[in-house]
């Protein structure tokens, strides 16, 4: 019996290849500030479009709102060359970021493109950046410490894998140096670093001086400097978080470092004000406070791995009660305060232990460790209360046993709290030094954390 031969479809394939498709395009009607008004398109919020410029180039822009039957777009680059009636075409329904192991050791811009001169990224996948945080009932408890190599954090503010900590400080108090130390020395598999709104001069300095060659080898750095458009600064944070989530879903422990949340919030404030959103608190629009948890809650543990987040907050005017500080403190699992007064005394890292807290430390440490940390806090608080009397020589030895004990241990305790940026301390060394500093005797030796 003869087999039925399939029909020859070559002619139809050729016709389809040569078929001219119809593409819908809109046009620019007005540019006001950071926003571009477009008519003739029906797109959704978050959709990416391309705008044809006068010099035959293209500018990508994202739909951020609507007004009077017009779409409002914000550019993902400069607006040079955009003019009335410039053509606008939709190109992607969602913004995506590259992910993959080939990103290790690379430096990307806010849109996920390489800027380190090392060529293409290689084999990567593309993931949607606007993703939901892990379901609250699918988050395993934080039970394992993350050793950062910084004594004051490991000993007094112990951080766990999957915890989110804020580093609050004014400018020039040592945030970037502390972040570099954590990125180099933390016992995690991979570091993802987001530099949002940084000065262009500081980016290379951070990569070469603070992070170092060894730190960069197991890191991915996403950079969006202060001269970039507000939307690019915003996207950079979500690109970095999407990359970190990919590594977490591969079963790895990731350290996520972001500098800074404040500049991320400022970028959203610019966008909100551009579309007519009313300011709610100190010029910040309501969308800022809605967007912060959408980013910060994405860090943490899931069933595969963990993202331990360190988020710096640039405190304006050293006011630790300003709106962004309050909002971030309420979302995160602890806060580390950097003190300008300590930095002025050349005390680095300038961590104010008495005003800092790790909310998950009691679940991570044993009773012995908690007693050592509590004793150190007690001595610091007692000495701080009597500092003025001690400095002017008005305190008489023997008047108060607590003050006498604090004075006795203060030199060793201060040496424990201070640490060079290149100095690394293991968890076992940290607890041993803390034990000697507070003068406490314990029945069992401290144990090393793997």
pLDDT for residue 3 is more than 70: no
Return the CATH number of the domain spanning residue range 96-362.
Answer: 3.40.50.12240
Among 3.40.50.360, 3.40.50.1000, 2.40.10.170, 1.10.10.10, name the CATH number for the domain at 24-92. 2.40.10.170
Q: Residues 123-182: pLDDT tens digits?
A: 889 999 999 999 999 999 999 999 999 999 999 999 999 999 999 998 889 888 898 899
Phi, psi of 203 (to 5 degrees): -65, -55
DSSP annotation of 422 reads T
What pLDDT is stored for residue 318 in this prediction? 77
- Please give the average per-residue pLDDT across 23-27, as a whole number: 87
Q: Residues 96-133: pLDDT tens digits?
A: 999 999 999 999 999 999 999 999 888 889 999 999 99
**Helical axes 261-274 vs 230-249, angle rounded to 10°:** 130
Q: Which long-range contacts (CB under 8 A, 24 or more apart) does 75-81 make?
A: 75/34, 75/36, 75/51, 75/229, 75/231, 76/48, 76/111, 76/229, 76/231, 76/232, 76/235, 77/229, 77/232, 78/229, 79/31, 79/36, 80/53, 81/53, 81/54, 81/55, 81/57
Q: Residues 366-394: pLDDT tens digits?
A: 999 999 999 999 999 999 999 999 989 89
What pLDDT is stored for residue 445 in this prediction? 44
CATH domain 368-438 topology: Substrate Binding Domain Of Dnak; Chain:A; Domain 2 (1.20.1270)
373 sits in which H/E element: helix 367-385
The band of 446, judged by pLDDT with boundaries at 50, 70 and 90, is very low
The band of 10, judged by pLDDT with boundaries at 50, 70 and 90, is confident
- Please give the average per-residue pLDDT across 302-328, as a whole number: 91
DSSP H helices, 297-364, are 323-331, 340-344, 361-364
Instruction: Report the percent of the chain where pLDDT is more than 70.
Output: 96
Q: Is residue 178 exposed (0-12), middle (13-18) or buried (19+ Cβ within 10 Å)?
A: buried
- Please give the average per-residue pLDDT across 239-259, as a whole number: 96
What pLDDT is stored for residue 6 in this prediction? 72
Please say whether the beta carbons of 258 and 240 come within 8 A: yes
Please say whether the beta carbons of 125 and 250 come within 8 A: no
What pLDDT is stored for residue 106 in this prediction? 95
What pLDDT is stored for residue 442 in this prediction? 45
What pLDDT is stored for residue 387 in this prediction? 92
pLDDT for residue 50 is more than 70: yes
- Please give the average per-residue pLDDT across 198-211, as a whole number: 86
Maximum CA extent, the chain: 115
Least confident of 30-34, 54-58, 76-80, 219-223: 54-58
CA 176 to chain centre: 12
The rounded distance, in Å, linking the Cα atoms of 370 and 364 is 10
In the chain, domain spans: 24-92, 96-362, 368-438
> Given the DSSP bridges, would you call strands 357-358 and 334-337 parallel, antiparallel or unpaired?
antiparallel
What pLDDT is stored for residue 124 in this prediction? 84
pLDDT for residue 1 is more than 70: no
């Amino acid at each position: 019996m003869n087999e039925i031969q399939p029909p020859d479809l070559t002619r139809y394939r050729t016709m389809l290849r040569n078929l001219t498709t119809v593409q819908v395009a809109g046009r620019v009607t007005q540019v006001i500030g950071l926003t571009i008004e477009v008519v003739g398109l029906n797109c959704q919020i978050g959709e990416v479009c391309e705008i044809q410029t006068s010099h035959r180039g293209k500018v990508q822009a994202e739909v951020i709102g609507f007004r009077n039957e017009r779409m409002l777009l914000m550019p993902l680059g400069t607006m040079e060359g955009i003019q009335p009636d410039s053509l606008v075409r939709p190109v992607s329904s969602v913004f995506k970021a590259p992910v993959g192991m080939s990103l290790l050791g690379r430096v990307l811009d806010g849109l996920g493109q390489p800027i380190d001169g090392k060529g293409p990224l290689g084999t990567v996948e593309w993931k949607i950046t606007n993703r939901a945080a892990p379901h609250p009932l699918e988050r395993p408890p934080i039970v394992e410490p993350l050793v950062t190599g910084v004594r004051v954090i490991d000993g007094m503010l112990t951080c766990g894998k999957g915890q989110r900590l804020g580093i609050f400080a004014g400018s020039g108090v040592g945030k970037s140096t502390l972040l570099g130390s954590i990125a180099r020395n933390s016992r995690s598999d991979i570091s993802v670093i987001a530099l949002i709104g940084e000065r262009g001069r500081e980016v290379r300095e951070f990569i070469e001086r603070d992070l170092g060659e060894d730190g960069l080898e197991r890191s991915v750095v996403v950079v969006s400097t202060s001269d970039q458009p507000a939307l690019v600064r915003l996207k950079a944070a979500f690109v970095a978080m999407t990359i970190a989530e990919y590594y977490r879903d591969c079963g790895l422990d990731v350290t996520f470092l972001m500098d800074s949340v404040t500049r991320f919030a400022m970028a959203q404030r610019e966008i909100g004000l551009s579309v007519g959103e009313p300011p709610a608190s100190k010029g910040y629009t309501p969308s800022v406070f809605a967007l912060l948890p959408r980013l910060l809650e994405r860090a943490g543990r899931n069933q595969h791995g963990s993202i331990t987040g360190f988020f710096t907050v640039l405190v304006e005017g050293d006011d630790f009660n300003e709106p962004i500080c309050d909002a971030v403190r309420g979302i995160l699992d602890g806060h580390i305060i950097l003190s300008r007064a300590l930095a002025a005394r050349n005390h680095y890292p300038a961590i104010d232990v008495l005003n800092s807290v790790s909310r998950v430390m009691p679940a991570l440490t044993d009773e012995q460790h908690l007693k050592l940390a509590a004793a150190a806090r007690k001595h610091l608080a007692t000495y701080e209360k009597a500092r003025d009397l001690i400095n002017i020589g008005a305190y008489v030895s023997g008047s108060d046993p607590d003050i006498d004990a604090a004075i006795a241990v203060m030199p060793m305790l201060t040496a424990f709290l201070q640490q060079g940026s290149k100095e690394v301390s293991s968890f076992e060394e940290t607890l041993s030094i803390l034990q000697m500093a507070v003068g406490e005797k314990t029945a069992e030796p401290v144990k090393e954390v793997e």
